[in-house]
Chains A and B, each alone.
Chain A
C-alpha cells in the first residue's frame, strides 16, 4: 500500500515537473525565423530587359524586402511568424498581392488578400508564383476630333434639320394635292373657341345693343 502510494507520488512528481517545463516552453514566444520563398514571372516581351532590376518584392509595406535572382525567384529571410502581405513592386506592371501567414509552428499558408472580408480564405499555392496581371495605364488618351462628333452634335442637328425642312417643304407645297390634304387637316383641327371678348363686350354693352336692335327692326319693317 505504502509502496503504491510512493509510486503514485513519484509519478505525480515526474509528471508535474514535466508539465512545468512544458508550461515554460509554451510561455516562451517562439523566436524562430522563417524564409518566404517564391517566384516572380516576367511579362511577355521582357526578354533581355533588366526586369529583375526594376522589380522587387516587399513584405508588409517595406518591413522586409526580397530581391529577384536571374530566374525570378526570391527569398525573404528573417521573417518571424505572423501575417504578411507580399507585393511585387514594378513601375510598369501590376501584380496581385498575396497574404502569407506563418503560424507559430512554422506552417505556411498563402491566400489572396481580401481587405474587406479578412477571414475569407482563397488559397494560393506556396511557394508563391506571382504573375503579372495587367500593365499600368497611367495616361489618358487625348480627345481626338472625329467627324462624327461634329455631325452628331445636337446643336448641329437643330440647325441642319430645320434647314432641310425649309428646303424640302416648299417643294412639297407646290404640289396641289398635298395642299388640299393639308387644308383638310387644318379644317379638322380648327375649332372655335368661345369668343370671350364677345361675351364680355356683350356683357358690358348689352344696353346699347338692345337699342340698336330695335332701331334695326323698325327699319326692316319699312
Chain B
C-alpha cells in the first residue's frame, strides 16, 4: 500500500515542481516581453514624415468668390480638395469612395461658395459642398433608370439645376432636370434627335448636343439645342469648318473653358479647328496644331483661345483673340521649366490690371500628373504622380567620397601588380599618400576653398547606422522619383516617355536593384521593366538611383515580357543580371554580357509563371542552357481550372530575407525545427462555380519541384485577401461571410523534432511533408494592406504592419498571431501567450499616431544598418515613412539615457569611498593611540 502511494505522491510532486518551474519561466519571460510598442511624444516628427497628395486633376476651378482665394480640384483619385493659390498647399481635402463608386462625373462651376459634385456609379450621388469649410451641405441619390448606359450619361449643372442627359440611340435625348440642392425632380423631357446612333461620336457642349457622323470628307456634324423645348436638329458639314481639303479621320472633343466650344481635329490629328457654340455654331477659321492643347475663356467680353504647345521643355502659351474680323494671335508666355511636360490648361483666372493688360493665372496639369500654377513664371508645382506609386525600392546611399577613397586603398582590384605593392613598404607608402591627400582636403575645406568637384550632395551619404536611405518610387505616369528618407525631400525625377504598366488593370511595372552602392567604382544601378505604350512589347530603363541619371537609357525589347527574375549571382562588376522570359518561352539575359554567368548557374535556377486567365501554373528550368544561350524548359505544370476557381494572389518570400534561428524551443527544452523552404509560394484562389461560390483556397506550392506542400479551404468567405509570407509562416486575412467579420489566419510549417538535412535544403530531394500548425483569429477592423518587417540578419522578431481602413497603420507582433497559442491555459511555453479569439488593436501600436494615411495601396519595408530597426514606407494616396523597432532598439543606447545621472552618481560614490577610506584610517590611528 505504502509504496504506490509514495510513488504517486512523488510523481505529483515532480509535476508540481515542473509546473512551478514553467510558471516561473512564464512569468519571468512574459515580463521580459514588452508588448507595448509605444512612441514617445517627443519623438513625433523626428524620424517620420507624411505627404498628402490629391492625384491627377480631372476638373478644376479657381474660387474667386469666397474670402480666401483658392483653387478647387477634383481628381482621378476620387478626391476633392482646395489648394492655396500662392503655395499650392492643401487647405482641405475630402476623399470619396474608392474605385467606381467614388468616380467624379460632374463638377459645377463655383458660385456662392458652394460646389456641386456628382459622383458614383449606379446610382449616382449628388453631393453639395461648402467651399470655405469643406463641409458637405447636402447629399442625395439619383435613381438611375438605365444602369447599363451609365458611361454615356452626361451631366450639366447650370443655375442650381442639374440636368441628366442620356442619349438614346436612334431616337433622341432624354433630359431630366433636378433641383441641384434638394434633389427634387423638376421636369423630364425627351427631345427627338434621330441622328444619334452607336457609330456617332457625341459631345455635350451646352446648350448643344453635337454628334459627328461619318469619317470621310463627307462627315457631318449634327447638333441640337437640348434646352430649347422646340428645337430641331441641325447640321453643319466639315467643309464649312475646314474649307476644302480636309481629310478624315475626324475627332471631336469638348474644349475646356468657360465658353461652350468643341474642337474638331482632322488629318489624323494634325490640325484642328474650333466651333463656338454659344448662340449659333460659329466656326473659327484658325488652324491649331493637333498636338497643342486648347482652352477657351473670356478676357473682359472678348473671347480668347489659349493654345499651349510643348516642344522639348519649352512651353509656349499663345492667346488668340477672336475678334469680329480676323483672329489675332499674341504670344503670352514662353517658359522653359523642367516641371512642365506636355501640359494642359485646366483652369484660368484673370484679373484686369488695366486696359488691354490682363494678369492671368493658369493652372496647368501635365501629362505626368503634376499640377503647376503659371503666372509669368511657374509659381509652384505639385508632383501628383506620387499618388499612384506602382513600384518602390529603398536603396542604400553611398559613402562619402573621402571614405570611398579610403576603401579603395584596400581594394584588390585596384592594384594590378599584386606582388610589388602588397608588401609592407608599399602599403605604408599608400597609406601615407592617401592620408596626405585627406589632410589637404581637410585644410581646404576648413579654409573654405572649393574642394574638387564631387557630384554628390554633402548630406546624401550613408550615415553611421545606415538609416538614411534613398526611396526610389516608380509611378504609373512613367515618372521615377528619388526621395530621400530623412525628410521626404524629392531629390531627383526622371521621366520615361511612352511607357505603361504591363496590364491595364494593375498598372504593374517591375523595378530591380541590380547593383547597390557598396561597390565603389561601379555606380549603383536600378532597372525598370515596363511595357511600351504603343506596341505593348517590353522596355527596360536603367538608371542610377542615387543621382537619377539614366545609365543605359531606354532599351526597347522586341518581344512581350511574360516573366522576369533577378539572378542571385553577380558578374565580376557586381551586377546582378535579369533573366527575362518572353511570350514564346525564350529566355534572355539583360545585360547581354552577363549571359555566361547566367548559364553557369542555369542548372540551379528555376522560374515559374502563373496565367490567371487559363489557370495554368508552369515551372521552367534553365538547366539545358548552353554556355552561349539561356534556354528555358518547362518542367512542371499545374492546372487550377478557371471553371472552379480563379487565381487571385501569388505570394513568394522576400529574397533578401534571412532566418536566424532554425527552430523553436518548446517548453520541455526540445527543439521543433522549422521548415524553411525558400522556393515555397502561396497561391490563393477564389471559387467561381456556383457550388464553390464563396470559398477561398490556399495552396502552398514548391515552385522548383511543382509539388503541393499544403492546401486549405475556407468556406463562406470572401475577399479581399491580404497575405504575408515569410520565413516558415504565412499570415492571411479574409472576410468571413457567416459571422461578418474580418479574420486573420496563420499557418506555420515545421519539420519536426529532428532536422532531415542539417546542411543543405534542396526542393528536389525532400520527400517529407512538413507539420502545419494553424490558427485563426478575429480582427476588429478592415484591412487594406499587410506587410512584415524585415531586418538584415533576421534576429529581431517580426511584426506585421497592417494598414487599416481608418487611416492607421498597426504594428501587430507576430507573437499575437502565433498558431501555437494554446487553447489549454495550463500548458505554458516560452514566448507563447494563451489563446484569445480577438486580436487587440493597441492604440499605441499605431505607428502613424494621428497622421492618417488614406487609401493605402502598399507598404514597403527595408532593413537598415541597425539590426533592431526596420524602415517602413507606406504609399497610397498619401506617403508616410517611419522607422519601427520590433524588439525595441536593443543595439543602441536609448534616447533618454541619463548620462548625467550616471556620471553624477559615479563621481559621488568615488568621492565618498575616498572620504570613507580617509575617515577609517583616521579612526584606526586614534584607536591605536588609545
Contact present between A and B (CB < 8 A): yes
Which residues of chain A come closer than 8 Å to B97, judged between CB atoms?
Answer: 62-65
Among B102, B136, B849, the one with the most A-chain Cβ atoms within 10 Å of its Cβ is B136
What sequence of 0s and 1s flags, for each residue 121-155 of chain A, a beta carbon within 8 Å of any chain B beta carbon? 00000000000000011111111010000000000
CA distance A131 to B778 in the complex (A): 25
CA distance A94 to B844 in the complex (A): 13
Q: Which of A10-18, A83-91, A177-185 contacts B (4 or more CB under 8 A)?
A: A83-91
CA distance A63 to B97 in the complex (A): 7
Residues B39 and A139 in contact, CB atoms below 8 Å apart:
yes
Residues B137 and A69 in contact, CB atoms below 8 Å apart:
yes
CA distance A87 to B841 in the complex (A): 15
Q: What size tier do the contact residues of chain A reach?
A: 35 or more
CA distance A116 to B137 in the complex (A): 38
Say how far A96's CB is from chain B's closest CB, in angstroms: 11
Say how far B231's CB is from chain A's closest CB, in angstroms: 34
Which residues of chain B come closer than 8 Å to A115, judged between CB atoms?
Answer: 739, 741, 778, 780, 838
Contact of B134 among A50, A62, A142 (CB under 8 A): A50
Which residues of chain A come closer than 8 Å to B136, judged between CB atoms?
Answer: 67-69
Q: Does B123 contact A (CB under 8 A)?
A: yes
Which residues of chain A come closer than 8 Å to B123, judged between CB atoms?
Answer: 33, 78
Q: Does A75 contact B (CB under 8 A)?
A: yes
Residues B846 and A70 in contact, CB atoms below 8 Å apart:
no
Say how far A35's CB is from chain B's closest CB, in angstroms: 8
Among B130, B782, B846, B901, the one with the most A-chain Cβ atoms within 10 Å of its Cβ is B782
Residue of A nearest to B121 (CB): A78
Contact of A65 among B96, B135, B141, B837 (CB under 8 A): B96
The B84-98 residues at the A interface (CB cut-off 8 A) are: 92, 94-98
Residues A58 and B805 in contact, CB atoms below 8 Å apart:
yes
CA distance A75 to B127 in the complex (A): 11
Residues B851 and A118 in contact, CB atoms below 8 Å apart:
no
| Known A138-B849, A139-B849, A142-B42; contact A78-B133, beta-carbon cutoff 8 A | no
The A13-45 residues at the B interface (CB cut-off 8 A) are: 33, 35
Residue of B nearest to A53 (CB): B134
Q: Does B159 contact A (CB under 8 A)?
A: no
Say how far B727's CB is from chain A's closest CB, in angstroms: 29
Say how far B253's CB is from chain A's closest CB, in angstroms: 31
| Known A64-B101, A67-B139; contact A89-B807, beta-carbon cutoff 8 A | yes
Contact of A50 among B36, B133, B805 (CB under 8 A): B133
Residues A138 and B141 in contact, CB atoms below 8 Å apart:
no
Residues B127 and A67 in contact, CB atoms below 8 Å apart:
yes
Residue of A nearest to B126 (CB): A77
Q: Does B26 contact A (CB under 8 A)?
A: no
Q: Does A103 contact B (CB under 8 A)?
A: no
Which residues of chain A come closer than 8 Å to B710, judged between CB atoms?
Answer: none
Which residues of chain A come closer than 8 Å to B98, judged between CB atoms?
Answer: 62
CA distance A60 to B98 in the complex (A): 13
Residues B805 and A116 in contact, CB atoms below 8 Å apart:
no
Contact of A138 among B781, B805, B843 (CB under 8 A): B843
What sequence of 0s and 1s flags, for each residue 133-165 of chain B, a beta carbon within 8 Å of any chain A beta carbon? 111111111000000000000000000000000
Q: Does A106 contact B (CB under 8 A)?
A: no
The B816-870 residues at the A interface (CB cut-off 8 A) are: 837-838, 843-844, 846, 849-852
Q: Does B120 contact A (CB under 8 A)?
A: yes
CA distance A89 to B740 in the complex (A): 20
Q: Does B280 contact A (CB under 8 A)?
A: no
CA distance A129 to B655 in the complex (A): 50
Q: Does B896 contact A (CB under 8 A)?
A: yes
CA distance A78 to B784 in the complex (A): 23
Contact of A91 among B39, B137, B805, B807 (CB under 8 A): B807
CA distance A62 to B898 in the complex (A): 46
CA distance A35 to B120 in the complex (A): 15
Say how far A173's CB is from chain B's closest CB, in angstroms: 14
| Known A64-B101, A140-B39; contact A75-B139, beta-carbon cutoff 8 A | yes
Say how far A64's CB is from chain B's closest CB, in angstroms: 7
What sequence of 0s and 1s flags, for each residue 896-914 of chain B, a beta carbon within 8 Å of any chain A beta carbon? 1010010000000000000
Say how far B817's CB is from chain A's closest CB, in angstroms: 16
Which residues of chain A come closer than 8 Å to B784, judged between CB atoms?
Answer: 62
Residues B805 and A62 in contact, CB atoms below 8 Å apart:
yes
Q: Does A206 contact B (CB under 8 A)?
A: no
Residue of B nearest to A64 (CB): B97
Q: Does B41 contact A (CB under 8 A)?
A: yes
Say how far B904's CB is from chain A's closest CB, in angstroms: 11
Which residues of chain A come closer than 8 Å to B138, judged between CB atoms?
Answer: 69
| Known A91-B851, A115-B780, A116-B838; contact A137-B141, beta-carbon cutoff 8 A | no
Say how far A111's CB is from chain B's closest CB, in angstroms: 12
Contact of B40 among A60, A94, A140 (CB under 8 A): A140
CA distance A67 to B117 in the complex (A): 13
Among A68, A83, A89, the one with the most B-chain Cβ atoms within 10 Å of its Cβ is A89
Residues B39 and A78 in contact, CB atoms below 8 Å apart:
no
Say how far A166's CB is from chain B's closest CB, in angstroms: 11
Residues B901 and A68 in contact, CB atoms below 8 Å apart:
no
The A72-123 residues at the B interface (CB cut-off 8 A) are: 75, 77-78, 83, 85, 87, 89, 91-92, 94, 115-116, 118
Q: Does B125 contact A (CB under 8 A)?
A: yes
Residue of A nearest to B129 (CB): A67
Among B44, B137, B850, the one with the most A-chain Cβ atoms within 10 Å of its Cβ is B850
Which residues of chain B come closer than 8 Å to A67, judged between CB atoms?
Answer: 94, 127, 135-136, 139
Which residues of chain A come closer than 8 Å to B852, judged between CB atoms?
Answer: 89, 91
Which residues of chain B come closer than 8 Å to A85, judged between CB atoms?
Answer: 740
Say how far A168's CB is from chain B's closest CB, in angstroms: 16
CA distance A69 to B181 in the complex (A): 14
Say how far B911's CB is from chain A's closest CB, in angstroms: 16
Residues B850 and A92 in contact, CB atoms below 8 Å apart:
yes
Residues A53 and B778 in contact, CB atoms below 8 Å apart:
no
CA distance A145 to B127 in the complex (A): 55
Which residues of chain A come closer than 8 Å to B38, judged between CB atoms?
Answer: 138-140
| Known A53-B134, A62-B98, A145-B898; contact A77-B141, beta-carbon cutoff 8 A | yes
| Known A50-B133, A89-B807, A138-B843; contact A78-B36, beta-carbon cutoff 8 A | no
Other CB < 8 Å A-B pairs besides A68-B136, A70-B135, A136-B850, 14 of them? A50-B92, A52-B133, A61-B781, A63-B101, A65-B95, A67-B135, A89-B852, A137-B843, A139-B40, A139-B44, A140-B39, A140-B40, A143-B896, A145-B901
> What residues of chain B have their CB less than 8 Å away from a CB belonging to chain A?
36, 38-42, 44, 92, 94-98, 101-102, 120, 123, 125, 127, 130, 133-141, 739-742, 778, 780-782, 784, 805-807, 837-838, 843-844, 846, 849-852, 896, 898, 901
> What residues of chain A have their CB less than 8 Å away from a CB belonging to chain B?
33, 35, 50, 52-53, 56, 58, 60-65, 67-70, 75, 77-78, 83, 85, 87, 89, 91-92, 94, 115-116, 118, 136-143, 145
15 pairs of residues in contact across A and B, judged by CB atoms under 8 Å: A50-B92, A50-B134, A53-B134, A62-B97, A64-B97, A92-B850, A116-B778, A118-B739, A136-B846, A138-B39, A139-B39, A139-B44, A141-B40, A145-B898, A145-B901
